[in-house]
Amino acid sequence: MKTIIRNTIILLALLGSLFQVNASQNFIYQDSVLKGDNGKTAKIFVGVPVTIKKEMGKNVKVSIKGYMFGDEVYSSKTKELLVAKVQKGFNVNKTEKNEVELIGTLSKELTSSDLLDVWGEHEEFYFEMCTQCHAGPEVNHHTMMEWEAVFGTMRGFAKLDEEEASYLLRYLKANASDGFIKVKH
């Protein structure tokens, strides 16, 4: 009986965390290549939210939004979180000043609506590296800018190399209160 109650609680907690996000929202599962109509491509990075416009067998046509600076697209005007890097000639729909929409196709397998799927390994690494001295702070209780600031010291404390640091910082920023999955408190 106790196990059943515990499992039910865990299940409810999991469902609760999933339903904070619009059920039809999908995310880029790993760094991927988006193919535009004219054959030009854009590199899309892990965690980016995508709207599926059309199912095309094994592929999907998606829309991705962000703010463009040069050939880079960011999640906000403050350029803290990279969404995409576009190849020269990739057709970009401009909606407002700097605000753009990228439309292209990629394999359906590269998208997921399950945040645990997308960030599970990052999260494990975070707890492994960042809970040696204190409990792991709730990632979405900080803004991207706060994470950037704290991380300067903490990456040294956790003895992360360059690659580990950027892997972890992306996870922290993407899941920050003003990251890809915006949360209200």
Instruction: Using CB under 6 A, list all residues that contact ligand HEC.
Output: 129-130, 132-134, 137, 150, 153-155, 157-158, 168
CA distance 166 to 177: 19
CB of 175 to ligand HEC, least distance (A): 12
CB of 15 to ligand HEC, least distance (A): 27
Q: Which two tokens stand for residue 132?
A: 């040696």
Q: Given the complex with ligand HEC, which of 84 and 174 has the nearer CB atom?
A: 174
CB of 157 to ligand HEC, least distance (A): 4
Q: Given the complex with ligand HEC, which of 72 and 164 has the nearer CB atom?
A: 164
Q: Given the complex with ligand HEC, which of 42 and 168 has the nearer CB atom?
A: 168
Taking phi over 0 as left and psi of -120 to 50 as alpha, with beta for the rest, 159 belongs to: left
Q: Given the complex with ligand HEC, which of 69 and 157 has the nearer CB atom?
A: 157
Phi, psi dihedrals of residue 67, rounded to the nearest 5°? -120, 130
Whole-angstrom CA distances from 69 to 72, 79, 97 are: 5, 8, 10
Q: Are 28 and 47 in contact (CB under 8 A)?
A: yes
Q: Given the complex with ligand HEC, which of 92 and 165 has the nearer CB atom?
A: 165
CB of 147 to ligand HEC, least distance (A): 7
State whether residue 72 is helix, strand or coil.
strand
Q: Which two tokens stand for residue 97?
A: 């000043």
CB of 158 to ligand HEC, least distance (A): 4
Neighbour tally for 107: CB within 10 Å = 13
